[in-house]
Amino acid sequence: MKEFSKALLERAAECEKALAGTFARLEETAFYNTRKVMSVFADNQLSERHFNGTVGYGYNDDGRDLCDKLFAQSFGCEAGFARASIISGTHALAIGLQGLLRPGDVMVSVTGRPYDTLSGVIGLTPCAGSLAEFGVKYEQIDMIGEATLDLPAIKERLDKGNVKMIYAQRSKGYSARRTLTAAELTQLGELVKQYPGVFFVVDNCYGEFVEKEEPKADLLIGSLIKNPGGGMAESGGYLVGSAEAVELASYRLTVPGIGLEAGASLGTTKQLIKGLFYAPHTVLQAMKTAHFAAAMFESFGYHCNPSALEERSDIIQTVDCKTRELLLAFCGGIQAGSPVDSYVTPEGWAMPGYNDEVVMAAGAFVQGASIELSADAPIRPPYRVYMQGGLTYESGKYGILTALEKMGH
């Protein structure tokens, strides 16, 4: 059995003592969100028969249709869909953008440049089949000081007209900015509502069930191998929001004229519903892991964002590792502290969709699942690593201590 030094364990105990109040608050939020999900399940009379899969065209798939309702209502939305066939959050976002935007339309990103993997979808990086190739125009409004939405600039742009979509990314992605709260995004949505014909779309990845409420938008979009899949979904994405926006997006999920009426579930419905059931609890484990990581690394002099006691709106924790060597050691420790592939050493590589070499540590049961303890970083100064996940707090704690040990602490 692996042993840690007495000094490291004593420091961990001190950090957990300091985090007691924070952990209690997180547990209260998780119970609130569990009540919300359980009420939705009960109201819709979820039954064992809904777990039966379909093949072929998938007509009359009651389980698939109920799963869609469960996701939509758990997020407080009119409609939605969740599908295992959606390969990633980027894929889900592409479905939403392609569903709502037409040639000549203008999309305005109001949280700066979107996450790297969307560059090809939008056409910021030349790519066959991008929105730019189909005549969709992209504009960008940066946040004020990487902390606040520039509402006056957004209103000024909306007043000029010729805007079809206001797009916001809840989480920071590979940037130093602050993650937006659900309330801030809802406030932005209220502004957009004043302009008929303009859609408000939120990339909700990493933020689901972190707070008691979700943002209000025409579309909330995310991945099921992140928060809302609860560590149970083995693939998938979701889109929830207004009935109009969801219907338009559904024609890019399948084809115009069919939308959500077809599509075989192939036995995946149960894992998606089970994942939604687990999601509030699993997010709690990831949040406790993130707070603990910040407390431990701050105690050794590393800059962490958010700080240990700071309230959060997503599960991502950044640690500035100062040097390439310490960054690789951090990722090596997370990998060594994982249940799968703990014997391998992560190295940087030119990952498709990213502009810099990226190093990733992810000994996960589901490849790429960032609700499981994982860490990744573009290898560039200040050698900032983005850590997230933890199916259980205990295993998350184990991973953090292993990373610190690998870094020489």
Spell out the residues 6+ positions from residue 359 whose beta carbon is closer than 8 angstroms to its own. 327, 328, 331, 346, 347, 348, 349, 376, 377, 379
Specify the 3-state DSSP secondary structure of 274. Answer: helix
pLDDT the model gives residue 353: 64
pLDDT the model gives residue 146: 81
Q: Fold identical between 6-33+280-406 and 45-276?
A: no
Question: Domain 45-276 belongs to what architecture?
Answer: 3-Layer(aba) Sandwich (3.40)
Q: Using alpha carbons, list the distances in angstroms from residue 180 to 169, 170, 228, 270, 293.
A: 8, 5, 18, 32, 21
pLDDT the model gives residue 175: 78
What does the CA dihedral 388, 394, 400, 406 come to, rounded to 10 degrees?
A: -130
Spell out the residues 6+ positions from residue 17 whose beta carbon is closer than 8 angstroms to its own. none
Within the chain, which residues score under 50 in pLDDT? none
Task: Round to whole Å and give the CA distance between 314 and 145.
Answer: 19
What would the two tokens of residue 251 be? 């024609």
pLDDT the model gives residue 172: 86
Predicted confidence (pLDDT) per residue in 233-284, tens digit: 999 999 999 999 999 999 999 999 999 999 999 999 999 999 999 999 999 9
Task: Round to whole Å and give the CA distance between 185 and 167.
Answer: 10
Spell out the residues 6+ positions from residue 7 whose beta carbon is closer than 8 angstroms to its own. none
The reported pTM is 0.95
The answer to whether 178 and 146 have CB atoms below 8 angstroms apart is: yes
Where along the chain do its domains lie?
6-33+280-406, 45-276
Question: Domain 6-33+280-406 belongs to what architecture?
Answer: Alpha-Beta Complex (3.90)
Question: CA geometry: angle at 36 spanning 318 and 69, to 5°?
Answer: 100
- Other Cβ atoms closer than 10 A to 351: 16
Predicted confidence (pLDDT) per residue in 199-218, tens digit: 999 999 999 999 999 999 99
Spell out the residues 6+ positions from residue 379 whose beta carbon is closer than 8 angstroms to its own. 324, 327, 348, 356, 357, 358, 359
